[in-house]
């Protein structure tokens, strides 16, 4: 079963996909007898791409598969030995590597916000450090694409969006896991065949210009297609001239081939030219020919902005095929998640750690934490996220006062609310303990959770900042540490 | 050997990574008895990213591995059958699929230009069509990254550039093959460990902020590092405060640990703050402390523009670590290569095909073609590329007149030149017939070929357009077809 080679679930071993410094540090921890120090790391991000109001968490399933398959082969050990960098003790440690960390993550499909931990790892520093590269790579990539897809699908305003981007993806996994994330973000199907095989999400597609070019005439190309796929007849009408050739030939084929068979033609696709102008003209021609139900599908370098714009101009579009700008998140192709040490344990006690920076937004939230999402009981809308120390609990039955972590005088008292803990445990002492939902289930979940955000947060441009607040205890801890370091460098 | 799962060479089967419409068309070709029609497809691109003067060809080795491993498994056939889309005859064809095409490509490391075929495929339409998705995905991705890396390395002006981007790559292969292409583009090393294992390119790395945070003091963190890696001691000095803490602690460790051992410290790294200001200050402090040979390495969201700018400001930098903006080609993350039908054979005769578009740059060059690169015999500089019909040959001993394909009165007569054919055959009737050089050899080749371009073409902003001309025969063929179609839709 060769195709399993793609599927981490079935054993793809990505252990050596690691920044070299994770290994030099690992060796260093061991050499300085620190390797068993229990450390806590948070993965979080600082900015929402495209100036949006939220991101869509994605990639947890692949993270679980990676962590489940961590293993150094003899070849890996031999290669590392050849670098003359590592002690024999360290190489033996790797040879017998057994993942032992606890891991928590926000489940896929959840809207997530800057500053809150998406993933938290607790375990021996050797291990918790080692997994940095792949945690970031996995969550950064998939969250980036799910977030972009979600924007594009919202712009399409209920019309189906098909993911068409494999050929312009950044590498094979960019296509495969990009398709997965696109579905999570809201796409109805993908052109990427292997993504259907792997994730049970619908693959779809019709014809390329080359099909039309191969035949002596466009009419013959369309006729042959209609005869081959009478029940799935979508014709690409822009190989020569949409209005003078493509649409007249399509109508002729509908009239002469499909209608006599009693079959309703499905649609036409336009992949170039002015979308607003052409779709209006096409709609009129199709309607006049008696085909008001034939769908108009458009593609060609679309994104949320072009889609919004052509729809506002009254373009007659039934569905969208979106390629390169989705699969690479072209407008902002980097999701800047980071992975930072937030605490260590010393004699069983948690000691919070902070990363200082002259850039305030780069200062970390210290300590072992959890997140509550607070909902209004009446509207079921999300009010705010509250990051707390892990030892804290919220009693839903009591009023709760939250405050802005920068402008601390801005306070809000909640009475009619309920609190939901966001993170779930996905590994317990190295053993996976969370079963990922199917991609379709995650898609549904993302839709329902996104619907719990206020309209103001959903806006594309200048959305309202969703509140991500710190508990009193966490705020105090953070500011104690900041004051301590500030006094050191006065 | 689990890690082989990454390596197409050792059997990674990407056959099902294909746009679904390649399969629906394949089935259509077979159903309409067209499947054995011999077709010619060109892969080419239309625009150079970032307004640059050229791209660096990359990805041919992986393309060869993909084409060598084309095979549908029983599971693939069962899955396709379950779609209820394909005839049994087609599924049998796939089950017995054996690649039979001829393929030509421009070798990796060559500067390449818009409009010229990077890859040409000749074979049964079924097969030549099928490989579209992966040819585009492979060459688009790697050429994008090699081109971006080449820009960044040129900006660094001889200083080493290390590729640091795995954590922000778009998927696992984005990191792995991105690292490969970064080396081809000129990077001296990568942080991606598995890339060294797979491609024999140097992996490197030092420490993260978490190493420093783990210790009670920065000094202890540095001291432990120096004791562990005396011969590779590069210290990250920006965890707390570069000038007040990081550099003083580094110097103390150099003085107290390394100097007494008779070891020269290697360097310091800065990952935040104002690079120009900090590196000047650091250089002075290090020099004054007696460490003029300690290298200053900088990272943090660098690209060719920031590098150019800080160097012009006199920043004291010895080498660069470049991450997210390289590995995603952030400023322009899509390489828009396309794959178009350019000819078919009918009764042994080649019939050229053209794709018309209202957008002139989208019109294809028809026919089965080859490319000559023309060099000045005296300077060895590249003068122009000439796209010809494959049947044409250039006689180096005779003068050659070339002309602009749009402004045809602009002509140039070449006397003192030699012509080199650019494309090589990589598959002969389905059998691979080209051995890829090593990645290091490709890097060297890219460097030497880039040096053959005029300075004007190498410029970052508004470079001179390198000439890509058409032979008389090809120009005539193209314009005959254009006139024919234009007259159809008058």
Contact A328 B330 (CB under 8 A): no
List the one residue out of A292, A60, A279, A357 whose CA is nearest residue B246: A357
CA distance linking residue B144 with residue B118, whole number of Å: 13
> How close is the nearest chain B Cα to the Cα of A418, in Å?
36
With beta carbons under 8 A apart, name residues in chain A contacting B325.
334
Q: Which of A13, A178, A214 is opposite residue B5, by nearest beta carbon?
A: A13
A333 with B335: Cβ contact below 8 A:
no
Reported as a single tens digit per residue, the pLDDT across A423-459 is 999 999 999 999 999 999 999 999 999 999 999 999 9
Q: Which residue of A has its CA nearest to B137?
A: A167
Chain B's closest residue to A75, CA to CA, is B1
Nearest to A191 among B3, B20, B334 (CB): B20
CATH architecture assigned to A2-145+333-488: Alpha-Beta Barrel (3.20)
Average pLDDT per consecutive 10 residues, chain B (490 residues; last block may be shorter): 37 88 96 93 97 98 96 96 95 97 98 98 97 98 98 97 98 98 98 96 92 94 96 94 96 98 97 95 98 96 96 98 98 97 95 84 93 97 98 94 93 96 98 97 98 95 95 96 82
Minimal CA separation from B137 to chain A, in Å: 4
Minimal CA–CA distance to B365: which of B105, B117, B109, B48?
B117
B177 and A168 within 8 Å at the Cβ level: the answer is: no
Token readout for A419 is 């609190």
CB contact under 8 A, A340 and B488: no
* C-beta atoms of B167 and A362 within 8 A: no
Nearest CA in chain B to A207: B21
Structure tokens, B305:
């523009």
Chain A partners within 8 Å of B356 (Cβ) = 239-241
Q: Distance (Å) from the C-alpha of residue B411 to the closest C-alpha of chain A?
A: 32
Smallest Cα distance from B72 to chain A, Å: 9
Name which of A174, A240, A488 is nearest B173 (Cβ-Cβ).
A174
**B contacts of A324 (beta carbons < 8 Å):** 334, 336
- Pull the structure tokens for residue B40: 């010619």
Distance CA A282, CA A233 (A): 16
Neighboring chain A residues of B37 at a CB cutoff of 8 Å: 214
Judged by CB atoms closer than 8 Å, whether chains meet at A171 and B173 is answered as: yes
pLDDT at B490: 63
* Chain A residue with Cα closest to B145: A170
The confidence score (pLDDT) of residue B6 equals: 36
| B2-145+334-366+423-462 carries CATH number 3.40.50.1820 | no
A320 Cβ contact partners less than 8 Å away, ≥ 6 residues apart: A152, A156, A159, A160, A161, A162, A297, A298, A299, A302, A307
Chain A CB contacts of B339 under 8 Å are 167
Each domain of chain A, given as residue ranges in start order, spans 2-145+333-488, 146-327
Q: What is the pLDDT of residue A490?
A: 63
Mapping DSSP onto H, E and C, the string for chain A reads: CHHHHHCHHHCCCCCCCCEHHHHHHHHHHHHCCCCCCEEEEEEECCCCHHHCCCEECCCHHHHHHHHHCCCCCHHHHHHHHHCCCCCHHHHHHHHCCCCCCEEEECCCCCEECCCCCCEEEEEEHHHHHHCHHHHHHHHHHHHHHHHHHHHHHHHHCCCCEEECCHHHCCCHHHHHHHHHHHHHHCCCEECEHHHHHHHCCCECCCCCHHHHHHCCCHHHHHHHHHHHCHHHCEEECCCCCHHHHHHHHHHHHHHHHHHHHCCCCCEEEECCCCHHHHHHHHHHHHHHCCCCCCEEEECCCCCHHHHHHHHHCCCCCCEEEECHHHHCCCCCCCCCCEEEEEEEEECCEEEECCCCCCCHHHCCCCCCEEEEEEEECCCCCEEEEEEEECCCCCCCCCCEEEECCCCCCCEEEECCEEEEECCEEEEECCEECCCCCCHHHHHHHHHHHHCCCCHHHHCCCCCCCCEEEECHHHHHHHHHHHHHHHHHCC
Q: What is the DSSP letter of B324?
A: H
Residues of A in contact with B27 (CB under 8 A): 228
Q: Check: CB of residue B20 under 8 Å from CB of residue A191.
A: yes
Point out the residue among B194, B213, B224 whose CB comes nearest to the CB of A16.
Answer: B194
> Which chain A residues contact residue B243 at CB under 8 A?
none
Residue from the list B171, B272, B339 with its beta carbon closest to the beta carbon of A362: B272
Chain A neighbors of B358, CB-CB under 8 A: 272-273
For B153-327, the fitting CATH number among 3.30.70.360, 3.20.20.70, 3.40.50.720, 3.40.50.1000 is 3.20.20.70
Judge: B170–A144 Cβ closer than 8 Å, yes or no. Answer: yes
Flag if A28 and B228 touch (Cβ within 8 Å): yes
Contact criterion met (CB below 8 Å) for A434 and A424? yes
Residues of chain A contacting B240 with CB distance shorter than 8 Å: 356, 485, 488-489
Asked if the Cβ–Cβ distance from B341 to A169 is below 8 Å, we say: no
Residue of A nearest to B300 (CA): A336
Task: Say how many Å lie between the first and final Cα of chain A, rounded.
Answer: 63
Is B171's CB within 8 Å of A205's CB?
A: no
- Assign residue A49 a region (left: φ > 0; alpha: ψ between -120 and 50; beta: otherwise): beta
- DSSP code for B289: T
Collect all residues of chain B within an 8 Å Cβ-Cβ radius of residue A24. Answer: 205-207, 229
Topology classification of domain A146-327? TIM Barrel (3.20.20)
| Residue in B86, B193, B233 to test binding to A, most A beta-carbons within 10 Å | B193
Q: Which residue of B has its CA nearest to A357?
A: B240
Give which of A108, A118, A114, A115 is closest to A57, Cα–Cα: A108
Residue among A28, A337, A341 whose CB faces B225 most closely? A28
Which residues of chain A are modeled with pLDDT < 50?
A: 1-10
Query: Which of A21, A141, A170 is the closest to B206 by Cβ?
Result: A21
Identify all chain B residues contacting A360, using CB atoms and an 8 Å cutoff. Answer: none
The predicted-structure confidence for B268-288, as pLDDT tens digits, reads as follows 999 989 999 999 999 999 999
Tokens 């079959």 label which residue? A263
How distant is the Cα of A4 from the closest Cα of chain B, in angstroms?
9
| Smallest Cα distance from A443 to chain B, Å | 20
Q: Which pair of tokens denotes residue A254?
A: 């509908």
Nearest to B170 by CA among B328, B5, B334, B302: B328
d(CA A114, CA B13): 38
């Amino acid at each position: 079963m060769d195709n399993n080679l793609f599927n981490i679930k079935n054993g793809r071993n990505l252990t050596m996909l690691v920044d070299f410094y994770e290994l030099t540090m690992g060796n260093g921890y061991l050499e300085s007898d620190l390797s068993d120090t229990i450390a806590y790391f948070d993965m979080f991000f600082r900015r929402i791409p495209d100036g949006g109001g939220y991101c869509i968490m994605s990639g947890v399933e692949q993270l679980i598969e990676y962590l489940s398959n961590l293993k150094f082969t003899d070849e890996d050990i031999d290669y590392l030995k050849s670098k003359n960098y590592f002690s024999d003790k360290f190489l033996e440690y790797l040879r017998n590597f057994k993942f032992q960390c606890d891991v928590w993550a926000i489940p896929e499909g959840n809207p997530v916000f800057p500053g809150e931990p998406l993933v938290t790892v607790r375990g021996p520093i050797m291990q918790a450090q080692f997994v940095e590269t792949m945690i970031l790579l996995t969550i950064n990539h998939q969250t980036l694409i799910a977030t972009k897809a979600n924007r594009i699908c919202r712009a399409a305003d209920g019309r189906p969006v098909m993911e068409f981007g494999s050929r312009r993806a950044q590498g094979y996994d960019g296509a495969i896991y990009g398709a997965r994330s696109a579905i999570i973000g809201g796409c109805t199907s993908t052109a990427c065949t292997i993504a259907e095989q792997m994730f049970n999400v619908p693959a779809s597609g019709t014809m390329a210009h080359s099909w039309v070019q191969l035949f002596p005439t466009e009419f013959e190309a369309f006729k042959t297609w209609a005869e081959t796929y009478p029940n799935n007849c979508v014709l690409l009408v822009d190989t020569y001239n949409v209005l003078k050739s493509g649409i007249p030939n399509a109508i002729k084929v509908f009239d002469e081939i499909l209608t006599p068979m009693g079959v309703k033609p499905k649609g036409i696709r336009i992949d170039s030219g002015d979308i607003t102008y052409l779709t209006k003209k096409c709609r009129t021609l199709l309607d006049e020919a008696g085909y008001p139900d034939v769908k108009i599908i458009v593609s060609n370098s679309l994104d949320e902005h072009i889609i919004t714009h052509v729809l506002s101009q009254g373009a007659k579009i039934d569905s969208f095929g979106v390629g390169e700008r989705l699969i690479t998140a072209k407008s902002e192709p980097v999701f800047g998640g980071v992975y930072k040490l937030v605490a260590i344990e010393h004699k069983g006690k948690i000691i919070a750690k902070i990363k200082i920076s002259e850039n305030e937004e780069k200062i970390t939230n210290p300590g072992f934490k959890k997140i509550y999402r607070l909902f209004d009981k009446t509207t079921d809308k999300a009010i705010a996220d509250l990051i707390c120390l892990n030892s804290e609990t919220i009693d839903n039955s009591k009023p709760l006062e939250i405050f802005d972590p920068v402008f601390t005088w801005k306070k809000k008292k909640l009475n009619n609310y309920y609190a939901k803990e966001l993170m779930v445990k996905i590994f317990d002492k190295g053993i996976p303990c969370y079963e990922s939902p199917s991609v379709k289930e995650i898609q549904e979940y993302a839709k329902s959770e996104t619907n719990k955000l206020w309209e103001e947060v959903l806006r594309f441009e200048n959305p309202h900042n969703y509140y991500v607040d710190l508990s009193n205890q966490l705020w105090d801890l953070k500011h104690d540490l900041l004051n301590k370091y500030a006094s050191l460098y006065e």
